[in-house]
Every structure is written in structure tokens, then in C-alpha cells.
Amino acid sequence: MVKIPFLSNRKNKNGSGSAVHGAHDLEREQFRKLLEAIHASRISDRLAVLDRFLSVEHHLTLSSLAALMLDSDPALQNIGFLRDTMEMFCQCGFAKKRTFESQEVTYEHQHLGDHHDHFICTSCGRIQEFHNPRLETLQMDIAAGFKFHALQHKMEIYGICADCLARRETNLPLTRAVAREKVRIVEVRGDRPLVGRLTAMGLRTGLVLEVINNNPAGPIIVALDEVRLALDSEMAEAIIVTHACRHPEEKQS
């Protein structure tokens, strides 16, 4: 049995780089002792991977980790070896494996004694961490109300980040809306037969649609009230929409 004093939180209050570096050194030593205790293979190589993993403070995919290894040790780019090593990190409590919708599996540092949730942009794929003490307290209160003893939880909020919203046009074709977005029709373009087909489907200016699926390889699926509609690319390109998810802070005074 190997006793290892895990850190409760690797980040100090003022974000000191020296404190973080010292924490990384301690975790490296912890991992080395664990690997030696279980007689793992290629310990020095796995420690080299850990060094690169701890050198960044964002979510990494296996492919992005392999790209990092190219700079420090090209011989360790093998995806199979990296996957096996990352699984060891997860099992030993140094990393968490995250699987977000429509994205490659990612890994992040596991900050013991700390918890955060995630915003995921469905447009650019950006993953943003956040922590809200009120939300944590509310979740525990709700669990207690159901007489449920919560051990862990995760919250993933999917949407569109501020940068993506700022970059795109106010009005755009339906083909450029993202899945789960609510949009309002501001114009229907095209020749008379096309406009007639869309009108017959109940699509007209002012209506709000929810984009269920916007897969370039297939039809765009939208919901109009409780009805699902399938639109080909020509139809979707003719429908001009604007973002319609209005939050309290976005309302005009």
C-alpha cells in the first residue's frame, strides 16, 4: 500500500505561477510513486506526458496532446500510448475524462477539492469552465429535499459564446444557425414556387423556429411549435432568420 498526500487544491488565491509549478512538481512525484508501486511500464515516458499535460490549463484531446508532444518528444506521439497513459491519469485522480456532445473526448486536470461546470459553444466548440457557489448550494438543497445523498454531479450548458454571436451577422440564412438555437424568421426569399412551398409548410415571417439538427450531410430539421419539419438546403437557404433566444440581460431598457 502506498500512501500519497494528494493536494486539496492546486491553485492558490492569487494565481501565483510558482505555486502552480510547485503543485505540478508534487503531482509528478506522486504519479511516479504510483507507477513504481504498480510496476508500470515506460515510467519515464509517462512522466514526460504528464509534464506536457500539466503545462497547459485547458481541455486537451488526444490529438492536441500528440501535437504538444511533437515539440518536446516526437517519439511519444503514438495515440495508443497516449490514450493508455491518459487512462492511467484518470484512474489515479490526476485527470478527468470529458465527453461533450458532438466533440472528441477531452481530458482536463482534476483539481481535488474543487468543482466546476462547463459552457460549450456549439458553433466554435469552445469549452469554458465556471463555478457558482449559489448553484452548488441550490443543487445540494434540491437533493436534500428528495432525501438523496449526492456524491458528484456535472453541468454542461450548450449554447453560443459571446465571440461567435459578435462575429456573425444579425440576419443570416437558416443554414448557418446552430443546433438547439431558437431563431425568428425575418424574411423568406426565392422564386414564387419556392416561397409557395415554404408558405404551405406554415413558414412565414415572424415565426420562431427551434433548430433540431443542422447536419450539412442531410436535411435541416426544425421545430415549429410542436411540429417537426425537414428542409433541404435550398429551402433553408431561402429562410432568413435572427437569433431569438432572449435572456433578461439582453433585453433593451
The 10s digit of each residue's pLDDT in 13-50 is 444 555 556 667 888 888 888 888 888 899 999 999 99
Query: pLDDT at residue 67 above 50?
Result: yes
Domain boundary among 167, 184, 206: 167
Going through the chain in order, the beta strands assigned E by DSSP cover 60-61, 95-98, 106-109, 117-121, 127-130, 156-159, 171-173, 182-188, 208-214, 220-224, 227-231, 239-243
Burial class (CB in 10 A: 0-12, 13-18, 19+), 101: exposed
E strand or H helix at 72: helix 62-72
Inter-residue contact 204 to 188 (CB < 8 Å): yes
Q: Determine phi and psi for 42, rounding to 5 degrees.
A: 50, 50
Is residue 253 situated within a structural domain? no
Is residue 202 situated within a structural domain? yes
Q: Which residue has the cell 459571446?
A: 162
Is residue 44 situated within a structural domain? yes
Domain match, 176 and 153 both: no
Among residues 133, 138, 134, 132, which one has the least CA distance to residue 157?
Answer: 132
Least confident of 33-47, 105-119, 120-134: 105-119
Domain match, 85 and 132 both: no
Domain match, 138 and 180 both: no
Is residue 250 situated within a structural domain? no
Residue 188 pairs in a beta bridge with 239
Among residues 122, 97, 117, 99, which one has the least CA distance to residue 108?
Answer: 97
pLDDT score recorded for residue 200: 93
pLDDT score recorded for residue 126: 85
Residue 130 pairs in a beta bridge with 117
Give the whole-number percent of the chain exceeding pLDDT 90: 36
Q: Which three cell numbers stand for residue 184?
A: 425568428
* Average pLDDT over the chain, rounded to an integer: 83
Question: Side chain identity at 31, as an amino acid letter?
Answer: F
pLDDT score recorded for residue 15: 47
Q: Which domain holds residue 147?
A: 115-167
Residues 89/80/117/247 CA torsion (nearest 10 deg):
170
Structural domains in the chain (count): 3
Question: What 3-state DSSP class applies to 220?
Answer: strand
Q: Which three cell numbers stand for residue 164?
A: 461567435
**pTM exceeds 0.85:** no
pLDDT digit string (tens) for 132-186?
Answer: 889 889 999 999 999 999 887 778 888 889 898 888 888 999 999 988 899 999 9
Number of Cβ within 10 Å of residue 120's Cβ equals: 19
Distance CA 77, CA 72 (A): 10
Q: Give me the sign of the Cα torsion angle 222, 249, 153, 12.
A: positive
Please report, for the domain that includes residue 55, its CATH number: 1.10.10
Q: Which residue has the cell 424574411?
A: 187
Least confident of 5-19, 24-38, 66-80: 5-19
Domain match, 186 and 239 both: yes
CA distances from 15 to 10, 20, 24, 95, 110 (A): 10, 8, 14, 20, 17
Query: pLDDT at residue 123 above 80?
Result: yes
